[in-house]
């Protein structure tokens, strides 16, 4: 039978996983909207993000309640400290997602074929981010198998590495087009900036992963 402290900590994990599920849904909706270049679908991307600030506040309050009412053991204490930092990253991911989809309204039926092609190429970043989010949810829910936790962390690192490579290729392609056209195309430059905003989402996931590793295995936070 779980102690009260363990019950509350399990609730923290479940609520954190729920937020990550909503972030994953939002990313999948963004991917679909951008694949179709359908501006009418863009608003749907924000729906799963609406309650995240309140959800994060609930988690923070729950952790503070555990600190105040119970006496967590060292491993539980380490995990609660990690989750307090994780909630901050979750809020930043939600903000990055909102800013990204707002800026990506550049994708519409009137967009040039080059812009549509660049956006289509960039969606590999979204797919990597979705995979990384799903692996992170698995990490949240895995509390005992250290080998599995390390394996999931390694898989997320691979997805992170892929996004860097994808962006580098897109940037080279855009710079090549501007060089061939002998002009500094502001639309292309802005598009690269928006794609970089999308990269920040998986950057934040890397922060979450490092904190989960600290919570489950130890080391530096």
CATH number of the domain encompassing residue 102: 1.20.58.220
User: Which one of 2-11, 20-29, 189-198 scores highest in mean pLDDT?
Assistant: 20-29
Using a 10 angstrom Cβ sphere, with 0-12 exposed, 13-18 middle and 19 or more buried, the burial of residue 116 is middle
Count of domains for the chain: 1
**221 in a structural domain:** no
Mean pLDDT of the chain: 89
Cα–Cα distance for residue pair 22/82, rounded to 1 Å = 20
Cα–Cα distance for residue pair 173/176, rounded to 1 Å = 5
Can you list the positions of beta strands (E) in 108-214?
Answer: none
pLDDT surpasses 60 at 189: yes
**55 in a structural domain:** yes
Q: What is the mean pLDDT of residues 56-63?
A: 94
**73 in a structural domain:** yes
Check residue 40 and give its pLDDT: 79
Check residue 111 and give its pLDDT: 79
Q: What is the mean pLDDT of residues 28-53?
A: 88
Check residue 82 and give its pLDDT: 92
Measured CA angle at 200 (ends 218, 144), to 5 deg: 25
**196 in a structural domain:** yes
Q: What is the mean pLDDT of residues 31-50?
A: 87
Q: What is the pLDDT of residues 130-154, one digit of tens each?
A: 999 999 999 999 988 999 999 999 9
**62 in a structural domain:** yes
Using a 10 angstrom Cβ sphere, with 0-12 exposed, 13-18 middle and 19 or more buried, the burial of residue 18 is middle
Looking at the chain, the whole-number percentage of residues with pLDDT higher than 90 is 58
Q: What is the mean pLDDT of residues 113-119?
A: 89
pTM of the predicted model as reported, rounded to 2 decimal places: 0.91
Check residue 55 and give its pLDDT: 95
Q: What is the pLDDT of residues 191-220, one digit of tens each?
A: 899 899 889 999 999 999 999 998 888 755
Structural domain boundaries enclosing 78: 4-216
């Amino acid at each position: 039978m779980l102690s009260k402290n363990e019950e509350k900590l399990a609730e923290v994990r479940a609520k954190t996983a729920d937020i990550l599920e909503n972030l994953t849904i939002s990313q999948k909706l963004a991917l679909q909207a951008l694949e179709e270049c359908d501006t009418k679908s863009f608003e749907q991307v924000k729906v799963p993000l609406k309650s995240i600030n309140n959800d994060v506040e609930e988690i923070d309050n729950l952790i503070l309640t555990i600190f105040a009412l119970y006496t967590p053991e060292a491993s539980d204490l380490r995990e609660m400290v990690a989750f307090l930092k994780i909630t901050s990253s979750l809020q930043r991911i939600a903000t990055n997602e909102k800013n990204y989809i707002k800026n990506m309204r550049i994708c519409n039926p009137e967009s040039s074929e080059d812009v549509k092609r660049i956006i289509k190429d960039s969606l590999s970043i979204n797919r990597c981010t979705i995979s990384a989010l799903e692996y992170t949810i698995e990490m949240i829910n895995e509390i005992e198998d250290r080998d599995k936790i390390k394996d999931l962390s390694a898989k997320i690192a691979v997805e992170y590495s892929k996004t860097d490579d994808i962006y580098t290729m897109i940037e080279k392609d855009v710079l090549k087009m501007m060089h061939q056209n002998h002009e500094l195309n502001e639309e292309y430059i802005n598009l690269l900036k928006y794609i970089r905003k999308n990269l920040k989402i998986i950057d934040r996931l890397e922060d979450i992963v490092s904190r989960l590793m600290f919570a489950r295995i130890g080391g530096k936070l």
